[in-house]
Amino acid sequence: MRQSLETPLSKVKRGPNRAQYDAETAFRIIDNTLMCHVGQSKNGQVFVTPTCHWREGEYFYWHGHAKARNIKAPIDDAEKVCINLCQLDGLVLARSAMHHSVNYRSVTLFGVPELIEDTEEKVRQFKIFLDKVSPGRWDALRPINDIEIKATGLLRIKIEEASIKVRAEPPVDDPDDNDWPVWAGVVPLQQQWGPLEQDPIQTELFDTPTPPDAF
């Protein structure tokens, strides 16, 4: 049986027909996406922070300055954060304003973050992160040092309470409107990595990096 991420908290109330709870599908969307939005509260105020993320096995990781609010506050509060990642895939133009929509892949995760403090494990995770951003790059870099490891806060949640929403289809209009004389369909969003822009202070030519598969 496939692992389900459905819980009372992660269960989708609106548009449940587009909801999924399958761990493998969540993993795939997480791996294909570079940035997420972390929602947390501090002293009763909600904050939403965009940041990069990565995954290893059943764990979802993100990092930040060790003293930053989005690293410290979730640990201090020990409350469940809510993280969303959403890839916009296209505009859905219908025959009525009401049925306009977007095609997208979205994952919403809940969990109490865990702070990873072990130095070796932190370095191992940073390498996994860098391999996502630019495969094979880690070994070519100036090696990481203790000050940098200490200054970087590393959080993770287990991917066990989440929902997935996906829309990937043409407009769905009221049947009576299907003959309405206006163009209807999808405007797909295309993303790709453009020509590399080498640092202008670098005059030598080096092997160029491999861009990621994720966006």
Residue choice 141, 158, 168, 213 for contact with its own copies (CB under 8 A): 141
* Angle at alpha carbon of residue 63, lines to 20 and 142, rounded to 5°: 130
User: Which one, 5 or 38, has the nearer CB to its own copies?
Assistant: 38
| Residue choice 6, 18, 160, 209 for contact with its own copies (CB under 8 A) | 209
The answer to whether residue 112 forms part of the interface with its own copies (CB under 8 A) is no
Distance, in Å, from the CA atom of 101 to the CA atom of 165, rounded to the nearest integer, reads 13
- Interface region with its own copies, contact rule CB under 8 A, candidates 21-29, 112-120, 153-161, 183-191: 183-191
Q: Closest approach of Cβ 65 to its own copies, in Å?
A: 6
Q: For residue 134, how many other CB atoms are within 10 A of its CB?
A: 14
The answer to whether 59 and 158 are in contact (CB under 8 A) is: yes
Q: Which of 56, 58, 79, 213 binds its own copies (CB under 8 A)?
A: 79
**Residue 134 in contact with its own copies, rule: CB under 8 A:** yes
113 counts as binding its own copies under rule CB under 8 A: no
- Rg, C-alpha atoms of the chain: 20
Asked if 40 is part of the footprint of its own copies (rule: CB under 8 A), the reply reads yes
> The tokens of 14 are what?
């609106």
DSSP 18: G
Name the minimum Å distance from CB 52 to its own copies: 7
Residue 57 engages its own copies in binding (rule: CB under 8 A)? no
Sheet of strand 59-65: strand arrangement: 19-20, 162-167, 101-111, 81-93, 35-42, 45-56, 59-65, 152-158, 114-115
Query: Which residue in the set 21, 29, 62, 106 belongs to the binding site for its own copies (CB under 8 A)?
Result: 106
Kindly tell me which residue out of 29, 82, 154, 155 binds its own copies, with binding defined by CB under 8 A. Answer: 82
